[in-house]
Amino acid sequence: MSDITKHALASSLKKLMQQKPIDKITVKDIVEDCGVNRHTFYYHFQDIYELIEWLCMDEANRAIGNHKTFDTWKRGFHDLYGYLHANKAIIMNAYNSNYRNYLERYIRTLVRPYIQDFLRIQSEGMNIPNEKLEFICDTYTYGIVSLAMDWIANDMTARYENSMNFFLELLDGSMKHTLEKFSEN
């Protein structure tokens, strides 16, 4: 029952975010739209930002959840962009609000585990200190997140989507090379 209620609250939030910026949405607006009381909201979430994070993680994991292997990782990032574009009104309202930092953190939280997995697979048999692996992971993660935020900032135009395609192509061959440079074998 808990997930049903969370999904209902998230659905109401999404509906409201299509109409106005997140800064203008209150818990009262969400519970009235959802048909529940404030106590129910606070039983599940501390505030609207926690609901947004839950919603984003739930939907994005469904969007890219089938692409968690090394062979399908690029498709996963394309699916993430597709998800963001399909929810453009919501993403733009989040971007144009005080939620922008949460949006960036959310995208980074989605991307980083995938990059970590790819680096782990690519670095098998190499002796790379953890500090260096973390640095490589951060570098690739921030590249993808920066491109995504630029794409959103520019109203999700094709030019920036092409930039992501170019970046993914660059990553495809450079990860192994970068790891070899940092290897202490």
Quick one: pLDDT at residue 9? Answer: 97
Mean pLDDT value across residues 130-152: 91
**What homologous superfamily does CATH list for 4-44?**
Homeodomain-like (1.10.10.60)
Please report, for the chain, the start and end positions of each structural domain, with discontinuous segments joined by +: 4-44, 59-182
Quick one: pLDDT at residue 70? Answer: 58
Please give the model's pTM, rounded to 2 decimal places: 0.77
- Please name which of 23, 17, 21 lies closest in space to residue 56, comparing C-alpha atoms: 17
More confident site: 136 or 86 = 136
Quick one: pLDDT at residue 67? Answer: 59
Cα separation, 115 vs 85, in Å, equals: 22
pLDDT in tens, 52-110: 878 877 877 776 666 555 566 777 777 777 888 888 888 888 888 887 888 888 888 87
Contact present, 24 and 100 (Cβ < 8 Å): no
More confident site: 28 or 1 = 28
- Residue 129 burial (CB < 10 Å; 0-12/13-18/19+)? exposed
Mean pLDDT of the residues in the chain: 85
DSSP 96: T
Under the banding of pLDDT at 50, 70 and 90, the label for residue 11 is very high
